[in-house]
């Protein structure tokens, strides 16, 4: 099966663009616009991958990640964090976990594809 991906960003242009792009690649998308919905939908759907903005209203993506790490059903989900801020600036709030990655906005779609293939088994396909 193609991966189910939860995408969280407060900018509807980004969720629209990335959601459409990943849907065209065959992935099933769940789109949300804040950290609270991110934590709720991740627990409800248990996606194969989460792609989240760092700074969103309500709860940051990094805060939602901490909530997910406390739940045995969601703690193993790989996460791609994204932000227009530099990795160096965000390093203090980014988790140091082998199943997380950081991508700088604007997102390079080729790099996104490579990162998804790296984090998911079978190059982006899930059994």
What residue segments make up the domains of the chain, in order of their start? Answer: 34-83+92-127
Whose CA is closest to 54, among 63, 45, 46, 43? 63
Q: Are 7 and 51 in contact (CB under 8 A)?
A: yes
Which CATH superfamily hosts domain 34-83+92-127?
Response regulator (3.40.50.2300)
H/E segment holding residue 51: strand 49-53
pTM to 2 decimals? 0.91
Q: For 34-92, what is each residue's pLDDT tens digit?
A: 888 999 999 999 999 999 998 887 766 677 888 888 988 899 999 999 999 888 888 88
């Amino acid at each position: 099966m193609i991966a189910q991906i939860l995408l969280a960003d407060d900018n509807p242009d980004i969720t629209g663009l990335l959601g459409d792009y990943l849907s065209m690649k065959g992935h099933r998308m769940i789109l949300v616009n804040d950290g609270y919905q991110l934590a709720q939908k991740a627990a409800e759907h248990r996606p194969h991958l989460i792609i989240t903005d760092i700074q969103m209203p309500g709860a940051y993506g990094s805060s939602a990640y901490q909530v997910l790490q406390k739940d045995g059903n969601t703690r193993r989900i790989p996460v791609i964090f994204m932000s227009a801020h530099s990795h160096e600036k965000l390093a203090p709030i980014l988790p140091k976990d082998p199943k997380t990655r950081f991508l700088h906005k604007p997102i390079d779609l080729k790099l996104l594809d490579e990162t998804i293939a790296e984090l998911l088994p079978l190059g982006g396909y899930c059994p």
